[in-house]
Structure 1
Amino acid sequence: MSDLLRRSLRTFSLGVFLGVTCLPAVAVAQRARAAISVQWLGHATFEVVSSGGTRILIDPFLTDNPATPDSLKALSRYKPSAILVSHSHFDHSVNARAIAVASGAPVISIYEWVATLGLPEAQAKGGNVGGTFKVGDVTIHLVPAMHSSEPGHALGFVLEFADGRSLYHTGDTWLFSEMSLIQELYHPSIILLGTGGGPYTQGPAAAKLAVRKFFTPATIVPMHYGTFPGLATAAEVRAAWAGDKRVVMMMPGDRRAF
């Protein structure tokens, strides 16, 4: 074998070696940079932080929330890039205005309700079903929810991230056929799924059916349970979802990276 051929083979082998050993490391680093941080604050309240540092506070019910840890109740600790409110009921909206006034963050919700808050125009971001807002590196889509709300209609939210993934917060809802369009349009990889049941919202059986019929998420985080008497307990929700490896049961205050 000639020296030239030997050198060529060594160069080829080195290239293959580097491709095999180094490219996965690059991919791992990219995935790490694209991590989405999700903190459950109890009930339907979440703080979601994008890989670019955009902080989205959803359905802020903190000071009077029996599920929120005492260490997380102080409104002054929250400095969101935006506040999303799915509907006007107190257990989803009660702290929205105070946090907005203190932090300067915009409130994104149904137009009719946002108009009642008395916020400056720059912070009062009313929209409607099908509307879209851009906050930092996150695109926020307003989608329907099947629930009452006064004034205006109840919403869910889809957050799209720079890495192509999306997160769906269902708000308070019953499963409905238009969920198939949410899947078709946005393909949520993470679903924050109302599953507590009781007099006002879907329970575990309906939540499981919604996922089975309409969605293909990588991660399901049950929410809106265990807060008040009449809602499903954590043990009941855990039992209902037993065996589904996509389900992440969080404790109020927990923060996970996805």
Structure 2
Amino acid sequence: MLLSLSLLAALLGAAPTPPSQEFRVTWLGHAGFEVVSPGGTRLLIDPWLKENPRAPEAWKDLARLARTPPAAILLTHSHGDHAQDVHTLARLSGAPVVGTGETLRWLKVPEAQQHTVNVGGSTRIGDVTVHAVPAMHSCEPDGRPLGYVLVLPGGRSLYHTGDTWLFGDMALVQELLHPDIILLNVGGGRYGMDPRTAALAVRKYFRPSVIVPMHFGTFEPLATEPQAREVLGSDPRVHWLTPGIAASL
């Protein structure tokens, strides 16, 4: 008879092996990510792929990608460099799309797949609780931008900032949800936090163990990778991901 590891450990008087609390994170270029929980819940966040110059070629075939539907697609806001492929992915995959109602309706996401949230709300997807938090940015034609904090049953959490400027309520995101991993917008230019401002946001408001820079080096006038590394490269918590290569964080 085969014994489970936890039962064998109990019989031997040893503490059982704790369940994994790692997220598997694949950067898709720009602000796009695939995040997989320890329980196998697969989420796509801001999957702008077809015209994203940093997206891996293997991810640009939306029909192929949709054959293995994610548990949900999370959308921070309606700008094209985040939302352009969401309608097509939703139609092909049948996956629910999480975002504000105004944004999902404007993008013509099929009504049955609209999984609407708003600031302060949360929803359970598989073994992940998704919390919608504010982002300081714009959205078209109405609605508002969001960030998301994904929380595992054991309490570990991952924060996708979306496109944002630093703002005082980041302190409440830390107090309530204490993100351990931050997918951090650092691109700056005319569109959001530059690397120095992003580094200040982390110093001022957060205490993560892992920081993943994103939303840089895609097109002008965003910060280039060397510019981002010049500011953030000395922080040992910073992980520079390669688009298409999964990392356990």
Answer yes or no: same fold by TM over 0.5.
Answer: yes
- Tell whether the 8 Å contact from 2:128 to 2:150 is kept in structure 1 after alignment: yes
Is 2:68 the counterpart of 1:77?
no
CA distance in 2, matches of 1:182, 1:214: 9
What is the CA-CA distance between 1:243 and the residue it aligns to? 1.9
Out of 26, 32, 51, which is 2:38 matched to?
Answer: 51
CA distance in 2, matches of 1:232, 1:119: 32
Alignment of 1:230-245 (within 5 A): 230-245=221-236
What is the CA-CA distance between 1:119 and the residue it aligns to? 3.6
Quick one: which amino acid aligns to residue 212 of structure 2? V
CA distance in 1, matches of 2:59, 2:104: 25
SS at match of 2:106: coil
- Tell whether the 8 Å contact from 2:119 to 2:133 is kept in structure 1 after alignment: yes
Structure 2 segments unaligned to the other structure (5+ residues):
1-11
**CA RMSD, aligned part only?**
1.4
Alignment-derived partner of residue 6 in structure 1: none
Query: What are the Cα deviations for residues 2-49 of structure 1, in whole angstroms up to 9, with x where unaligned?
Result: xxxxxxxxxxxxxxxx77xx54xx54xx35x33210000000000000
Is 2:193 the counterpart of 1:193?
no
Pair member with larger Rg: 1
CA distance in 2, matches of 1:238, 1:118: 38
CA distance in 1, matches of 2:100, 2:47: 15
What is the CA-CA distance between 1:195 and the residue it aligns to? 0.3
Which range moved further: 234-243 or 186-195?
234-243
SS at match of 1:122: helix
- Tell whether the 8 Å contact from 2:23 to 2:38 is kept in structure 1 after alignment: yes
CA distance in 2, matches of 1:114, 1:160: 23
CA distance in 2, matches of 1:119, 1:68: 23
Alignment-derived partner of residue 181 in structure 1: 172
SS at match of 1:115: helix
Alignment-derived partner of residue 127 in structure 2: 137
- Tell whether the 8 Å contact from 2:171 to 2:206 is kept in structure 1 after alignment: yes
Query: What are the Cα deviations for residues 186-219 of structure 1, in whole angstroms up to 9, with x where unaligned?
Result: 0000000000111111100110000000000010
Structure 1 segments unaligned to the other structure (5+ residues):
1-17
Is 2:35 the counterpart of 1:34?
no
Is 2:153 the counterpart of 1:159?
no
Query: What are the Cα deviations for residues 205-237 of structure 1, in whole angstroms up to 9, with x where unaligned?
Result: 110000000000010000000000211111111
What is the CA-CA distance between 1:117 and the residue it aligns to? 3.5
Quick one: which amino acid aligns to residue 251 of structure 1? T
More helix by share: 1
Q: How many residues align?
A: 234
- Tell whether the 8 Å contact from 2:32 to 2:45 is kept in structure 1 after alignment: yes
CA distance in 2, matches of 1:39, 1:186: 22
Alignment-derived partner of residue 106 in structure 1: 96
CA distance in 1, matches of 2:107, 2:217: 29
CA distance in 2, matches of 1:93, 1:158: 19
Alignment of 1:204-223 (within 5 A): 204-223=195-214
Quick one: which amino acid aligns to residue 211 of structure 2? I
- Relative to the length of structure 1, the TM-score reads 0.87
Closer, same or farther in 2 for the Cα pair 1:119/1:90, shift >3 Å?
closer
CA distance in 2, matches of 1:207, 1:250: 17
